[in-house]
């Protein structure tokens, strides 16, 4: 009797054919997850919304996503994107040291403290993050991929992308502070929503109609 050989079915990636916009509100880990899930990545070019990626993460992007990223990057800097895209696809030259390793390993944080939450930030945004309760992590017990052996046990900042000109710096924030900030933001949002609804009702009633707002 002849045996029937069937080809194993390969499960389609859940993001295949779907687009997702990447902004500064996302974490680098989100980008890596979207790449793994097969999403088409589009990057926001607005200077206030552009998410700068570490070089190693950029290299992990599919070719089309690299093109989209470089276009958005140059737009955020107010430069002509065409020339930079061409240069970027040839290697994206950098003027500082790049250590080997895959993006996921580089972004790992070992020894996290339970009372803190952590995130990576570009150096240019550390000041703004400080108003949100974030501070540069100097805890000598925290370890990261790029930390040199000579720094172990010393209170130094943890960086990704190069020691001379880091692309990312590790920040931390106390969870109780984070919870208070989120509550304040929610209160502000609720207040704005309430005022908007009241304004809508008043405007409609001035026209002699009855306003109905779903709660």
Domain parsing of the chain, residue ranges: 19-89, 103-175
Predicted confidence at residue 207, as pLDDT, reads 64
User: What 3-state class would DSSP assign to 109?
Assistant: strand
Cβ partners under 8 Å of residue 173, min gap 6: 116, 117, 118, 119, 132, 133, 134, 135
Neighbours of 159 (CB within 10 A): 22
| pTM, rounded to two decimals | 0.47
Rounded Cα–Cα distance for residues 191 and 167 (Å):
37
Rounded-to-integer distance, Cα 133 and Cα 24, Å: 17
| φ, ψ at 160 (rounded to 5°) | -130, 140
Query: By the 8 A CB rule, do 146 and 200 touch?
Result: no
Instruction: Check residue 197 and give its pLDDT.
Output: 64
pLDDT at 102: 66
Which residues in the chain show pLDDT less than 50? Answer: 1-2, 5-7, 10, 85-97
- Say if CB 146 and CB 125 are below 8 A apart: no
Residue 134: the pLDDT is 92
**Cβ-contact 54, 98 below 8 angstroms:** no
């Amino acid at each position: 009797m002849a045996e029937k050989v069937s080809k194993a079915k390969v499960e389609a990636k859940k993001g295949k054919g779907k687009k997702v916009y990447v902004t500064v509100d996302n974490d680098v880990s989100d980008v890596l997850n979207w790449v793994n899930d097969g999403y088409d990545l589009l990057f926001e070019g607005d200077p206030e919304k552009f998410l700068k990626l570490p070089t190693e993460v950029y290299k992990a992007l599919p070719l089309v996503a690299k093109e989209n990223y470089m276009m958005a990057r140059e737009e955020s800097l107010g430069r002509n994107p065409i020339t930079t895209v061409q240069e970027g696809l040839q290697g994206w030259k950098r003027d500082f040291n790049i250590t080997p390793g895959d993006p996921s390993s580089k972004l790992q944080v070992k020894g996290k403290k339970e009372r803190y939450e952590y995130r990576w930030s570009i150096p240019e945004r550390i000041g703004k993050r400080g108003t949100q309760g974030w501070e540069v992590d100097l805890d000598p017990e925290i370890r990261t991929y790029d930390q040199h052996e000579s720094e172990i046990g010393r209170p130094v900042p943890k960086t990704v992308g190069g020691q001379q000109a880091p692309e990312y710096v590790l920040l931390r924030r106390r969870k109780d502070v984070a919870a208070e900030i989120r509550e304040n933001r929610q209160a502000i949002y609720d207040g704005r929503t309430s005022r908007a609804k009241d304004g809508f009702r008043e405007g409609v009633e001035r026209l002699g109609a009855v306003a109905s707002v779903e709660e």
